[in-house]
Structure 1
Amino acid sequence: MAWNSCDGISVRRSEPELVVAAKATRSEVKHLSDIDDHEGLRMHLSFIMFYKREEAMKEFDPVMIIKRGISEALVHYYPLAGRVAEGPNRKLVVECSGEGVMFVEAQADVALEELGDSIGPPCLHRKHFLYQLPASQGILASPLLFFQVTRLSCGGFVFAVCMNHVVCDSFGLVQFLNTVATMARDPHAAIQQPVWRRDIFSARNPPRVTCTHHEFEDVVHHSTTTTSSSHEDLSHESFLFGKKEIETLRNHLPQNLQKCSTVELLTACLWKCRTMALDLDPNEVVGVSSFVTTHGKVDVPKGYYGNAFVFPMALSKAGLLCENSLGYALGLIREAKGRMSEEYVRSMVDLMVLKGRPMYRTHGSFFVGDMTRVGFDEVDFGWGKPVYGGPVGAIPLSSYLARFKNGIMVPILLPQLVMKRFLRELTKMTSEEEFNLSPDIKTRPRSMI
């Protein structure tokens, strides 16, 4: 193992190794769906879980237990041990080669208690607990999953995973991780059998776009204002919405909207505050999308682990969004989500094919993902549920809602000056007092990228 010391924490990592399926598996080529194939999903996404010491498991090594679970789970999820390749017209497939997933074991000289609130998103020490090889920067011809399990000095451990997003969404990943956890505890246990069936989200013949999809519209820039910035200029902060803040936000709403979901409420709040902080031209059109699962709208079989979500977009002129009440933003968001139907999903899939898998609209756009019900905080390898389980942090243009402590933590990336204005607007909207977490987190600088 090689030691790496930074931020007062020393971590010793082993050389990366490939973990393969415990038994021989099929060698074949599997096609991805036309949702999987979307240009915007050709990326990696990372998640992290922190586990306490469990007295009943003190004789067991989490590294070896989890590695065994991965190997056993890959017998059933053998495509995840393969590699993504690009065919004619950039169509993606998975070559089920059985090469394996990447695995790193590590040892850190820090206890879970010492990490405190830094484990929440954005995890300040993610560079210690999430190991990525240079090859992980590309999605082709590289492992589909990268794991690191880090033993902590207290007897707890950190489990981190980086996934190739074209193969599965967060629900699909959690389904696989639950299988890993089950097989780690008992290799002979019954599991939910995985279902590939990517044809469910393949285009119709002939394909036809029957709905309006603002999230893929071409945008003509009427302003020199931009919402993007170089990574060096971005501040990565997070905000905890507790019961008090959520109740305060609801009080901003008219009676007929106060029974909206917490996710809708927070999405409206973030969209409005972010737009005000960006100080855009009032005529600039801005949009927000919530990632919405297709389960319940499309007949998706139990066990399906491919990408199964869409993100209908609400649009508004920046001036109208800033001038109007929170209820205005919320109404637009609910209207956009109300367009979600099976026909909407089929229309979007057909659009992918007809327009050559276009990138989603980025100019003036903001995306919000609800990770509070995905299940990362429920994965039990034998040490109980994690203290925190969810996204490592935000990514440019996207924030993820995650359960943390007794509230919902929302990480966000914004240019440094914009972040200061965002905090000011958020403070005004949520409380007369200073907003932002507990005293510990409030005074602690968040990470910069």
Structure 2
Amino acid sequence: MSDFNTVLADLDSELGWLRETYTQLHRHPELSLEEHETSKLVQEKLAGFGYSVTRIGGTGVVGVLANGEGPTVLARADMDALPVTEATGLPYSSEVDGVMHACGHDLHISALRGAAKLMADGRGAWSGTYIALFQPAEEVGAGSKAMVDDGLVTKVPRPDVALAQHVMPIPAGTVATTAGPVLSAGDSVKITVYGKGAHGSMPHMSVDPVVLAASIVLSLQSIVSRETKPGDFAVVTVGALNAGATSNIIPDHATLLLNIRTYDHQVRARVIASIERIVKGECSAAGSPREPEFEYYDQFPLTSNDAAVTEQVTAAFSAHFGADSVHHAERQTASEDFSRIPDAFGVPYTFWLLGGVDPETYRAAVAKGTVAQDIPANHSPLFAPVIDPTLSMGVQAHVVAALSYLSQEA
């Protein structure tokens, strides 16, 4: 029997409490940086499994299981929910008004808790150190930073490799991996531009920030269409433009809310520089009485998988699940803050996708060409991964990926 199968031998007997864990978490979601009860549950379980447990970054929890000489592997799950009103109709729907696990973090917690239990019970099949890290506030891009700022790299052993997964609207029973960029960097920016207010009947007495903001919106379109090299990727979205409160008063300022997505650090830097250049140029041309202001927030780092780590983990997945269950992951324009953790340690990582859609439902949608319409995506009020086999696959994926470094065979 392989080390994978040795550690996973009792998985079926553990799935009962893991399903209960998942439905309990789904019923009681907690928003970013408010994951107090979730953290308490995680901490109690890890301590019961024999882990040395530390609270880091407010509601973050880290369990360390030292098991002799060997590599150190860090596995991460995020814990926060979203301000979304659930519409799934599931018997275990959220009981918190306006809050829902609409991104699968409840499943991530459950899968890593299951893996932590099996790794503790199967210590005879591996050697090294296993770190189970439960991170808060992924949805607002603040949780990994909070843990790093709270001294994560000094409070736990330095890992040799870091691992994470995310349930996605792809067929359950599959995983998907890729080397290089898998999730985009994401930046939001609030831009305030200034004018001179006046009565609507006397526009010549004003510097109109509404016209100025409109000019900026149009000029920003050239960043992707004319400044980004064909083949490179960038998205610049103006999600909000706010100015004034009534029809006959020209206001004295306007605000724009932008979102940026990129797969390359140099492209990101150039896009940000172009935004600031264009905004300042338009303000100067309009005769703005004050310099514009830029406030960057909700910033997510690029998630770019290490090639060697991804190759090793993918090979382990193929050996355990079979090649038909392991697919190539397409790049996603969603963003994550996981990579700040391995980057803080200076270690390589891989982040894979976990299928969560009933396979028959998915195949039917593909056949009809209605995947976008029929398969709810993450953050939808209808998002609901099927528990089986998604939960079992999530546990197995964590165990197999870790054992590709820690097992005696490895």
Q: TM-score range by the shorter chain?
A: under 0.3
Instruction: Identify which of structures 1 and 2 has the higher relative contact order when contacts are C-alpha pairs closer than 8 Å and 6+ apart.
Output: 2
* TM-score after normalising by structure 2: 0.25
Whose radius of gyration is greater, 1 or 2? Answer: 2
* TM-score after normalising by structure 1: 0.24
Higher helix share: 2
